[in-house]
Amino acid sequence: MTRDGDLPKLYNFNGRRFDLTDVLGRFDRDTNGEIVLKKDKKGRLVDKLGRLVNSKGYLVDEFGNVIDKDGRQIFEKEHLQNDEIPKILPFTKFNIKNITGDFEMDPLGNPILDRDASGALIDRQGRKVNAKGYLIDANGNVINFNG
């Protein structure tokens, strides 16, 4: 919490700051304090204002990407885990070791990497990496060791 007792602004993966309240729909709550999701005539989840939301109450576009109240994309659907957004706070510590593959370095500081049967770069553990030695997914996105 900030000194004023508010939630701090969060960051998306592009480093853009956003306010959590700008990506949450408006809902009634049940006796347990859980949000009450509604469905529109097409069976899609919506908030009290009829805006599309996901199962966690985040505003989404028709593709499931999390958007803010102005319709700007904040997180791609594939970055969500169980419809939950990553919580990247200003004090979140980033550790480069979490995204770096297992490899030796040459004398100039370049990673020494192998290639798999298809020609893709891999580390010593057989995980896909880019030319800098960062772990990547099938689309070439940098990922951490947990995927």
Mean pLDDT, residues 116-138 taken together: 93
pLDDT tens digits for range 24-77 = 999 999 998 899 999 999 999 999 999 999 999 999 999 999 999 999 999 999
What is the predicted pLDDT for the residue at 44? 97
CA distances from 124 to 113, 131, 133 (A): 8, 14, 11
pLDDT at 110 over 90: no
Sequential DSSP letters for 65-116: -EE-TTS-EEE-GGG-BTTBPP-B-TT----GGGTB-S-EE-TTS-EE-EE-
What's the whole-model pTM score?
A: 0.58
Positive or negative, the CA dihedral 74, 76, 79, 84 is: positive
- Given a contact cutoff of 8 angstroms between Cβ atoms, the answer to whether 57 and 27 are in contact is yes
Cα gap 4→135, rounded to integer Å: 39
Q: How many residues does the chain have?
A: 147
71-96 pLDDT, tens per residue? 999 999 988 889 999 876 555 555 67
- Which two tokens mark 114? 């192998």
Percentage helix, strand, coil for the chain under 3-state DSSP, each rounded to 5:
5, 25, 65
pLDDT value at residue 99: 86
Does residue 104 register a pLDDT over 60? yes
